[in-house]
Structure 1
Amino acid sequence: MKLRWRKTPKTKPSTGELVPPEGVPLKLEVAGLGVRLAAQITDVILTLVASICLVILVASLGFSSPDTLIAIGSLMFFVTRVPYYVLTELAWNGQTLGKRLMKIKVVSHDGRSLSTHALVLRNLMKEAEIFLPATLLLSLNAATPLVSGLALLWIIAGLMVPLCNPYRQRLGDLMAGTHVIHMPVPVLLKDLAGKPAKQITEKEGFVFLAHQLDHYGAFELQTLEALLRAQETGAAQQKGQKQGATIQAVVEKIRQKIGYANKVPEARRLEFLRAFYNAQRAHLEQRQLFGERRKDKHYAAEDAPS
């Protein structure tokens, strides 16, 4: 299933969306140039240290000419660098050691798994964009100002591409169909049943019997949870009297359905709903331990496992 990456006008320029066929957008924050540069410097230092170790090993074999060692060092840096980027991003799903430290990663434009072809292409393009022109620039001298100037202009042009791109894609990303994003931070909502159900109901004075909790299933429990979470986030309070009428209607509906005789005061309607949520959840979880799953209020005896 192909996903569409698009820029949304209501978000920051550094934020994009992966929109799957189901229509639920996944908002992802595009990694900025600063954090990508920090990851790149980390990776360069690691590969440079590895190359220096190889050069020292070669020098111990009798190669002592400075020009020879510089040539071998440049070759070792290239031979170490390219496999490092490709293999680490393959092994760690789009991350090198530098990217892992900076908490960024490479993702595919179409939302699928990263292919070997895409990772090889984007990293070989990195050689053509930055490393080879930089090596050429450092190796030339004042006698070749034209070639040095061309190499410098090529590096500047390569750096301008992500600066002018809303998703900070360099040439390698554009050709390979990849993006570099910040790692999404998982956010777990607070469990509404953080305390034992019995403890809450005893404190608040609302007690529900087993036959009263048999009327509803998992669907109704999830609906009630969404209502309570809206109250906690403060979104519901902005609706004023309309939301208060909704709470009253839900409380009365539950009371009539389960046969709860006691009247619920207006000030304690939310307490009643929280207590009922905890008791209902504990009841359904206990029934599930015995192999019975109540999907919704329409659950019938014939739906139970035989």
Structure 2
Amino acid sequence: MISRRKISLLRRKKKDRPSPDILMPPEGVPLTLPVAGVGVRIAAQITDVLITSIGAICLLVLLSALNLTTPRTVFAIGALLFFVIRVPYYVIAELGWNGQTLGKRLMKIKVVSHDGGPLTAHALVLRNLMKEAEIFLPATLLLTLDMASPLASIASLAWITMGLMVPILNRYRRRLGDIMAGTHVIHLPVPVLLKDLATETPVLTEDRKKIVFLSHQLDHYGAFELQTLETLLRAQSVRPSAGAEQQRQATIETIVEKIRKKIGYADPVPPADRLRFLQAFYNAQRKHLEQRQLFGDRRENKHYAQADEDNQAGK
């Protein structure tokens, strides 16, 4: 039995984690993606600020070398250059890199639309202009104010704090700009490559003989049937329920007998060797189709022979 205290702790930990974002793209297949936390977003933001600051400093040095600035106007011109570089940088980078800036690319996060559709220029401009009002403008005021105006400094600090608290208290870690633009910031999904079934070789014992298929037995099927068989073999790694296991075994038996009858395989296949038979047939069929493709004979499905006859009759 789990105590109430443990249950409350588990619930509290669950609340602390950002909820996964469920997107519904136009294809109608829901996608569950991990929402980026506040820490990784701040790290990406710091990286982008450093990049834009370097650009502003380089332009400021160039203007100073051309005697276009004075010591009194250096700070004002620098702040203006930082703004002029910063706003187009975020919008153009996220438009060109599909929701990513250099900082987001390094942190492996990106901006996505709430409805799963493509990012629009309107949404990206809106969320980045709101960033100016949320963070950069109050931060600039906070840096330019002095002790003679403590109320303005306190107001700017309170505004920045409120802006930072919004994503912390938000379920999906969305700031005000994301809420208004209808966007999320997510972690990039990690691609997982499935293992190649052709590299698997069935384990043979002393009482089991190797299953061999002749060339004429492999001429009955094409790439479509091979892909269907691959899907069936991959599904065997998932453990079914008790009732579904009987249905699975019946399906495997039907497929094995259908293949045996189609290719003329005379030897009976014991129940224990049915999966081994399908795996061996998949490996042999794939190798056969790849060899045929090298000679320009691409076979899409089992109806390729009839298609060739129709083409020759049409000629």
Mark yes or no: TM-score above 0.5: yes
Which residue of the partner structure matches residue 293 of structure 1?
Answer: 300
Structure 1 residues 172 and 241: alpha-carbon distance in aligned structure 2, compared to 1, 3 A threshold: closer
Matched, 1:111 2:119: no
2:307 aligned with 1:303: yes
The answer as to whether partners of 2:25 and 2:115 remain within 8 angstroms in 1 is no
Partner residue, 2:256: 251
SS in 2 for 1:181: strand
Under a length normalisation based on structure 1, what TM-score does the superposition of the two structures give? 0.81
From 259, 269, 277, the equivalent of 1:272 is 277
Q: Which residue of 1 aligns with 2:204?
A: none
Q: Match for 1:178 among 163, 183, 191?
A: 183
1:40 lines up with 2:31 in the alignment = no
Please say if residues 213 and 258 of structure 1, whose CA atoms lie closer than 8 Å, have aligned partners that are also in contact.
yes
| Alignment map for 1:210-221 (pairs within 5 Å) | 210-221=215-226
1:128-139 matches, within 5 Å, as: 128-139=133-144
Structure 2: gaps (5+ residues): 1-13, 202-207
Residues 170, 187 of structure 1: alpha-carbon distance in 2 compared, 3 angstrom cutoff: same
Q: 1:249: how far off?
A: 4.2
The answer for the alignment partner of 1:150 in structure 2 is 155
Most deviating of 253-262 and 239-248: 239-248
Deviations 1:201-237 (A, max 9, x none): xx96222234433444444433322221123x35359
**What amino acid sits opposite 1:268 in the alignment?**
D
Q: Which amino acid aligns with 1:235?
A: R
Helix, strand or coil at the partner of 1:193: helix
Amino acid at match of 1:255: R
- Structure 2 counterparts to residues 47-196 of structure 1, below 5 A: 47-62=52-67, 63-65=69-71, 67-194=72-199
What is the SS of the residue equivalent to 2:186? strand
- What's the counterpart of residue 9 of structure 2? none
Q: Count how many residue pairs are aligned between Structure 1 and Structure 2.
A: 285
- Name the residue aligned to 1:199: none
Of 79-88 and 211-220, deviating more is: 211-220
Q: What code does the residue aligned with 1:178 have?
A: T
Local SS of the residue matching 2:197: coil
Report if the CA contact (8 A) 2:218-2:288 is conserved. Answer: yes
Is the 2:90–2:101 contact (alpha carbons within 8 Å) kept by the matching residues of 1? yes
The aligned residue for residue 5 of structure 1 is none
Residues 113 and 184 in structure 2, CA contact (< 8 A), matched pair in contact too = yes
Structure 2: distance between partners of 1:94 and 1:106 = 4
> Post-superposition, which runs of at least 4 consecutive aligned residues in structure 1 deviate over 6 A?
237-240
Pairwise CA distance, 1:19: 2.0
Name the amino acid aligned to 2:64: A
User: Are the equivalent residues in 1 in contact too, given 2:178–2:184 (CA < 8 A)?
Assistant: yes
Q: 1:256 to 1:292 in 2, by over 3 A?
A: closer
Does residue 235 of the first structure (1) align with residue 242 of the second (2)? no
Give the C-alpha shift of residue 136 in structure 1. Answer: 0.5
TM-score by length of 2: 0.79
**In the aligned structure 1, how far is the partner of 2:48 from the partner of 2:160?**
19
